[in-house]
Amino acid sequence: MEEKITKRMKEKGKSKLFRMVFGRTFFLAFAVSIQIAILLIFIYWLSEYFVYFYSVSTILSIILAIHITGRDINPSYIIAWLFMVLLVPVLGGSFYVLIKIHPSTYKIKKKLNIILADSRKYIPTNKKLMEDLKSDDELYGLANYIDNYGGYPAYKNTSVKYFSSGENKFESMLEELENAKEFIFLEYYIVDEGIMWDAILEILCRKVKEGVEVRFMYDGMCTLNLLPQNYPRFIREFGIKCKVFSPIRPAISSHQNNRDHRKILVIDGKTAYTGGINLADEYINAVKKFGHWKDTAVMLKGEAVRNFTVMFLQNWNISEETVEDFSPYLREYKVSSTGYVIPYGDSPFDHENVGELVYMDILNNARDYVHIMTPYLILDNEMILCMEYAAKRGVDVRLILPHVTDNPSAYTLARNLYPRLIQRGIKIYEYTPGFVHAKVFVSDNKKAVVGTINMDYRSMYLNMECACYFQDMNEVSEVEKDFACTLAMCEEITLDNCKKYSVVKQKIGKILWLFSPLM
């Protein structure tokens, strides 16, 4: 096993320039560029017949604009697509049609919806618990919504442990993995070879030899510049079941726009982890990419782990010919604990924005405060109004965002929104030591959410996401303590600060805002 990993590390040692020029990322970019070039050449060829071409394209653009306007989607998407279609009719219209009619997207949607409906028998509603919750109107309403429309019920008899850093979560992960007896499920968005992943892989290989079933799934984005295309074959040599979610293909399609952004680890159906922390060294600050990396996670033990077990198996079975029986992996495991826990997932294929609506519910029901950590702030108008209304009601709404960004365009978009939110009474802070990757909501010393869901269009509308809502538990105060500690290392952004921001970048931010739902 050590020899195989050493060989892999040598392969990884090839220069970044070599991989950029000759690697899969370059090939994919080149292939997509060819497709765009062909489309532009076709449009240029049509321009020879300008009169006919202009008349037909105008009629088609109007028809397409009417179609887009009538779609049951967020108004921000309607505006962005209308702008593209009407500004550059043929190119914008062709791009819209190209990504909306792709058969692979329909295939995934159909298969996943079948799996989601079928798997409800494994996570039935706890009717007695729901009856007990009727005394708490806020929690009952939220639990009822997530159960009926998200597909994931609420639980008691579950403990929650909060981790305020990747380093702490990593240490706990290794300990729990060592204790695995039956199975280990891993589902992650980012995986990169290094200290963190190598230590985990070493345990996984040993556990397989002990008879533990190990399944490992990672998102196809890793194949661009982190893991080689043949990495699943390398992992399978150790006896680990491995697959890539939505591999990147050299073709323009909406299918590739929907990523598996989840971070899930399930051990024996009794322990589960989720949060912002992926399996790469920057998440435990073993390497410094954007200053100090601030991230968070939670560990669950008890009944609520069942939701994460089912969630993993749902995604795993999308690419399977037949859907397996989930019951061998489900456990009736209870842990003495106070409070309520709701692990939930969100999918772009069901037209139900669970992640965004849970955040809105917290904002709408807050009385004293809502404190938020998020790496990105690219919001639709509904979320903006919800945050502003909370602040206008006297709720202390505070956001911690990165000072050092991993995505300049996303940072520019966030800065575009700062002045409006500050004027409405929302306080914004930037984490000066580096990058905040945490996705945290905490409110009124009563409720909290820790998960994978960023405050941007991609997380709320396009990606597979997950999170854990917990209420009336001691760990809620731990989340708030961590927010206060993080806040002490932040710079408050004022209107004067916003005015000093580069005028050029301000203008760029306003232009980017037109296309923000599509980014």
Instruction: Count CB neighbours of 14 within 10 A.
Output: 11
For β-strands 340-346 and 465-471, DSSP reports them as antiparallel
Residue 140 lies in a domain: no
Q: Are residues 487 and 380 in the same domain?
A: yes
Distance, in Å, from the CA atom of 260 to the CA atom of 492, rounded to the nearest integer, reads: 33
Residue 146 lies in a domain: no
Q: Are residues 317 and 391 in the same domain?
A: no
pLDDT along the chain (519 residues), means of 10: 52 47 51 63 61 68 80 78 73 69 74 93 96 93 97 97 98 98 98 97 98 97 86 96 85 69 98 98 96 98 98 96 96 93 94 95 98 97 97 98 95 95 98 98 98 96 96 97 98 95 89 79
DSSP summary character for residue 148:
I
Q: Are residues 322 and 408 in the same domain?
A: no
| C-alpha triplet 339, 345, 351: angle, nearest 5° | 130
Cα dihedral across residues 168, 173, 176, 179: positive or negative: negative
Tell me if residue 264 falls in helix, strand or coil.
Answer: strand
Helix (H) or strand (E) holding 448: strand 447-451
Q: What spatial distance separates the first Cα and last Cα of the chain, rounded to whole Å?
A: 41
The 3-class SS string of 14-74 reads: CCHHHHHHHCHHHHHHHHHHHHHHHHHHHHHHHHHHHHHHHHHHHHHHHHHHHHHHCCCCC
Q: Are residues 334 and 358 in the same domain?
A: no
In terms of residue numbers, what domain contains 261? 107-131+156-338
Q: Are residues 252 and 325 in the same domain?
A: yes
Domain termination site, one of 338, 362, 377: 338
Q: Are residues 370 and 478 in the same domain?
A: yes
Cβ contact 471:446 at 8 Å: yes
Residue 149 lies in a domain: no
184 beta partners: 214, 267
Q: What is the pTM of this model?
A: 0.89
Residue 163 lies in a domain: yes
The CATH code of the domain that includes 370 is: 3.30.870.10
Q: Are residues 116 and 244 in the same domain?
A: yes
Helix (H) or strand (E) holding 167: helix 166-178
Instruction: Count CB neighbours of 17 within 10 A.
Output: 8
Which pLDDT does position 490 carry in this prediction?
A: 98
Distance, in Å, from the CA atom of 468 to the CA atom of 161, rounded to the nearest integer, reads: 11
Cα within 13 Å of Cα(182), Cβ side: 10
Nearest to 258 by CA among 459, 512, 408: 459
For β-strands 369-373 and 396-402, DSSP reports them as parallel
Residue 141 lies in a domain: no
Q: Are residues 118 and 232 in the same domain?
A: yes
Tell me if residue 284 falls in helix, strand or coil.
Answer: helix
The 3-class SS string of 236-254 reads: HCCCCEEEEECCCCCCCCH
Nearest to 183 by CA among 237, 118, 236, 240: 240
Domain termination site, one of 292, 311, 338: 338
For β-strands 447-451 and 183-188, DSSP reports them as unpaired
Tell me if residue 219 falls in helix, strand or coil.
Answer: strand
**Helices 408-423, 381-392: crossing angle, 10 deg rounding:** 40
Q: Are residues 330 and 216 in the same domain?
A: yes
Q: Are residues 223 and 330 in the same domain?
A: yes
Domain termination site, one of 311, 338, 365: 338
Residue 137 lies in a domain: no
Distance, in Å, from the CA atom of 393 to the CA atom of 366, rounded to the nearest integer, reads: 9
Nearest to 456 by CA among 512, 504, 392: 512
Cβ contact 439:452 at 8 Å: yes
Residue 144 lies in a domain: no
Residue 150 lies in a domain: no
What is the total count of domains within the chain? 3
Q: Are residues 283 and 426 in the same domain?
A: no
Distance, in Å, from the CA atom of 95 to the CA atom of 89, rounded to the nearest integer, reads: 10
Q: Are residues 244 and 363 in the same domain?
A: no
